[in-house]
Amino acid sequence: MEAGVEKKTAISPKSKKRPRRKREVPPTEVGDIEDISFSKDETLQIRASLLEWYDKNQRDLPWRTMSGSLDERDKRGYAVWVSEVMLQQTRVSTVIDYFKRWMNKWPTLHDLAQASLEEVNEMWAGLGYYRRVRFLLQGAKEVVEGGGRFPETLSDLRKIKGIGEYTAGAIASIAFRKAVPVVDGNVVRVISRLKTISANPKDAATVKSFWKLAGQLVDPCRPGDFNQALMELGATLCSLSNPGCAACPISAQCHVLSLSGENELVHVTDYPTKVVKAKQRHEFSAVSVVEILNCQETMGPQSSSKYILVKRPNKGLLAGLWEFPSVLLEKEEDLTSRRKAVDGYLQSSFNLDLKESTRIVSRENIGECVHVFSHIRLKMYVELLVLHAKGNRSIDYKKQDKESITWKYVDNENLGNMGLTSGVRKVYTMVQKHKQTEQSTIPGRRRKTAVRR
């Protein structure tokens, strides 16, 4: 169907209702995507207009101040690297405070290289996608071990663990003023609308074409500013569902905006083409918040009770992070089945026999919560299991060796201050609210519990 020609549906004289017209996006793309390019005039106009807009409207962000400094080249590269890794899959407003805290703790690449994985994981807690921070730490160690000078070319940057094509382009252009492009979701959205590209944006050939087009646009004199301007435009005015075309500095070069004025079937938000996301996998786990009490102590606010935390394996989802003891279930299970699974786990992992070596002070079902990862929807059944040893004996944990899990116990104060993942923080918050509710509704609970022990 040609642009500007409206598809009409014949209506039978006997019809009482007009049939609903199915909205179709006309094929506006001409030729192969590999043949699409920006003309010299288009390129010059887009550069000039976008940079003028950026100079007036750019957001005040801490990493831009650092990357704009002409001195301390290594610090520029480091600041851009940290910010770009944090910004992947995360909102700018969320990243600002994390970036400030990070740079205060590890102001240089050499400082970061001395940190432990546990330290950086705690600082990163809440940002998600924890593999990013593992690679960031590993990459910092590689640079320092290689002499400590921050690389500035694309080829050298790509050799560092965790730095891909996008991050390399961002560091090279923003920190070192190399005339190379960057392509993220915002850039894809802007370019697809400028050129009405309806091809699947996730397809390898399409991605390659976006990089080529972005490379044509990048300003050779101000590559870092231009790349940031293009991303800024996509993040603000050229948004996914509510674009502000009237205020867009490059609306005169936007092909889809022009077509939308000629054909009511064409909408700016039709581009880029929506890709159906993979269906999330549903998983279920039984989480046991195990609190250990000393025999001589009470359950009150001054108690020195401690919680068991387990370290996840060093590979896979949330690798190397701390969580409460939990068991992955094959399906949704009832309370009895969940407790049986937890008991077996505690016995095999900690030699924690709930009948022989310990006495159960209380065991309460706290409730359920859902935590969503990019590809997993995890439903957690949470319980609070309060224990103390029988006969003044200590809990007889298994010795930790290479084949066993890594664990530790943490008191309430330190647990509250730890950098916990979002999912673990949800569980901990549920338990704390439950305790507060019980203390306010049952004033005599503390005294009675102490007597029972």
Query: Above 90 in pLDDT, residue 73?
Result: no
Measured distance CA(406)–CA(26) in Å, rounded = 58
Q: Which of 72, 84, 118, 403 is catalytic?
A: 84
Name the pLDDT band for 405 (thresholds 50, 70, 90): confident
84 is catalytic: yes
- pLDDT mean over 385-408: 67
Tokens read off for 233: 């435009």
Chain segment 192-239, per-residue pLDDT in tens: 999 999 999 999 999 999 999 999 999 999 999 999 999 999 999 999
Q: Give the confidence band of 395 by pLDDT, cuts at 50, 70, 90.
A: low
Please give the average per-residue pLDDT across 324-344, as a whole number. Answer: 95
Predicted pLDDT of residue 409: 84
Lowest mean pLDDT among 6-10, 48-52, 70-74, 256-260: 6-10
8 A C-beta contact, residue 387 and residue 420: no
- Measured CA to CA, the distance from residue 162 to residue 156 in angstroms comes to 13
Structure-token match 């699409």, residue found:
36
Polymer length of the chain: 453
Is 397 a residue whose pLDDT tops 50? yes
Say if residue 251's pLDDT is above 80: yes
pLDDT tens, 7-53? Answer: 333 333 333 444 444 444 444 444 578 889 999 999 999 999 999 99
Identify the weakest region by mean pLDDT among 1-15, 149-163, 370-384, 422-436.
1-15
Amino acid 37: pLDDT: 95
Confidence (pTM): 0.80
Consecutive H or E run containing 213: helix 204-217
16 contacts: CB under 8 Å, gap ≥ 6: none
The overall average pLDDT reported for the chain is 85
Give residue 25's pLDDT.
Answer: 46
Give the model's pLDDT for residue 386. 94
